Structure formats: structure tokens, C-alpha cells
Amino acid sequence: MKKVISSALVGTLSLGIAFGVSAGPVEDQAAFQKYYENKFPDTPTADFANGVYSILPTAREQWEAIEEFPPYEIAIEAGEAFYNKTFANGKSLADCFGPDGAVRNQYPKWDSDRGMVVTMELAINECLTANGEKPLKYKKGKITEVTAYMSFNSRGQEVDVKIPSDDPRALAAYENGKEHFYTKRGQLNFACADCHMLTAGNLYRADTTSPGFGHGTHWPVYRSKWQSMGTLHRRFGGCHKNIRANPYKAQGEEYRNLEYFVTYMSNGLTFNGPGARK
């Protein structure tokens, strides 16, 4: 492991020489995706939507077996029931998101009226509260059932996050997420990019790290370690805790901007949630 860290440090240094100043989102995205395509030449681009299994043939077989009887199936069914349940005012989530909720490719999106990133989870809660219902918790439980149902019905949609060029606040939110991804945090002094870019595919304790390309496609996830479903922001929090950084609030600005960046980097891949992971 020591070796991993020192090679990460050396990697950082040589990257520093190779790479110059910043560019816009379009150039960022091309360079980001190319980085992984070069690093993992055996992985077809579309396959990065499958997380660590896109680069780990040994674990893939086991994962494919799990996917045959997916552990998130119950969540989809429960989500469907909740989705169609009528609120006290006679409406339902379908009044906000259409008959089947297949709106995954509309999120995360920039809301120029409010000047903020809106995620699918946030939009669900806003629909609930606008109709006099109680909001859901953001990391696990009911919210993952609703998003499992909606994501399942959205399978096959293309990731196509937009950063409107006519609103500098959108670019600022993107830049904020980008900075978060590349800055070292926590007492252990790791950046997301250290584990999910520079050393993607290396072993950290018992887990091989997935490429950052593909991180936004498959949520929510049933994770064996959790023995339950979780949202992307739950996972962000877990990675932060692992490096001894205080997790940020799920659906707070920090994580919404991070999701905006991460998902934008995966543009062109296909939404394939819900997912199953170790």
C-alpha cells in the first residue's frame, strides 16, 4: 500500500508537468474520458457505466450472476407503489414526473431561476412538499425506492448533463464540483481523483477503486456492505469518512455541485440504474 501511495505522489508530480492551466467543461470532459480510455484500453467506452466491473474481469462474473436476481428488485416494486400512491390532495408523484417517472436524463440540471443544481432526489422532495406531503430522507430508505423505480424506467437514456453557457453561475457550480473532485481532503489527504483516477483499479484495503468515468450512471445502488440501498450522496459521504473528512450534507450545495461535475463527466454513457455493488 505504501507503494501505491508513493506512486500516486509521483504520478501527481509528473501530471503536474504534463498538464497546464484550466479549460472549459467541454475540453475537461473530452480529456477526462480520454484519460480513462487510455488507462483501460480493454474497456469499451460504454462499459464504464458498470463501475469497477468494467475493469475487473474477475469480479465481473460474480456481479453478473447477482444481476440475474437483482437485490434491488424489491425496491423497484416498493418504489412503484409509492410513485402511484395518491397524496392527501389527490395528486401523486406522477403529476410531477409523468406516468412512469422516466426522467432520469433530466437530472442533475441547472435551475437558472434559483441559481442552483437540482438533482432527481431534490426534485422528488420538492414535489412532495409542494403537495403538502412530508419530504424523504436523502441517503437511504424510501427515497432509494422511488429513484430505483424511476431509474429503472429510465434505463437506456443517455447521460446528457447541460451546463448552460449563458449563466455564469452554472459554470461556477460546475467549477466548484470539479475543484472538489481534484482537491485532497481529510486527515489522510486524498482527493477523489487520487483513488478514482490516478490509481483507479488499485486495491484500497479490500476494494479495487472504480474509474470516475461512470460514477453518475447507476444510482441508487444496492450495496452488499450496506445490506441496503443507498443514494449517490450516501456513497460520497462514505468515501469522505474513509479519508477522515467530515461528510457534507446529502443534497447540500457541496454534494449537488459534485454530482453535477461527476455526472457531466459521464455524458455520453447510458443511465443503467439501479445498480448492485459489493
Partner 1 sequence: MRNGLKTIALGLALIAPVSFAGSGTTAEHIEAATAAYKKLAKESSYQWTTTVKAIKAAKKALEAGDDKGARKLAHQAMDLVEATRLQAKIESETWRMRVPK
Which of 53, 60, 27, 58 lies closest to 178 in space, CA to CA? 27
Rg (C-alpha) for the chain, rounded Å, is 19
- Residue 139 interacts with ligand HEC (CB under 6 A): yes or no: no
Contact 275, 231 (CB under 8 A): no
Residue 87 phi, psi dihedral angles, 5° rounding: -70, 170
Q: Which is nearer to partner 1, 2 or 114 (CB)?
A: 2
Residues 195-234 that bind partner 1 (CB under 8 A): 197-198, 205
Binds partner 1 (CB under 8 A): choice among 52, 173, 193, 232 = 193
Binding span for partner 1 by CB under 8 A among 25-33, 115-123, 148-156, 223-231 = 25-33
Among partner 1, ligand HEC, none, the one that 31 touches (CB under a kind-dependent 5 to 8 A) is partner 1
Q: How far is the CB of 39 from ligand HEC (least distance, A)?
A: 14
Q: How far is the CB of 58 from ligand HEC (least distance, A)?
A: 14
Q: How far is residue 204 CA from its own chain's centroid?
A: 20
Residue 114 phi, psi dihedral angles, 5° rounding: -100, -10
Cβ-defined contacts of 164-167 (< 8 Å, 24+) = 164/110, 164/112, 167/110, 167/112, 167/115
Q: Which is nearer to ligand HEC, 93 or 269 (CB)?
A: 269
Binding site for ligand HEC (CB under 6 A): 51-52, 190, 192, 194-196, 204, 207, 209-210, 215, 221, 235-236, 239-240, 242-243, 258, 277
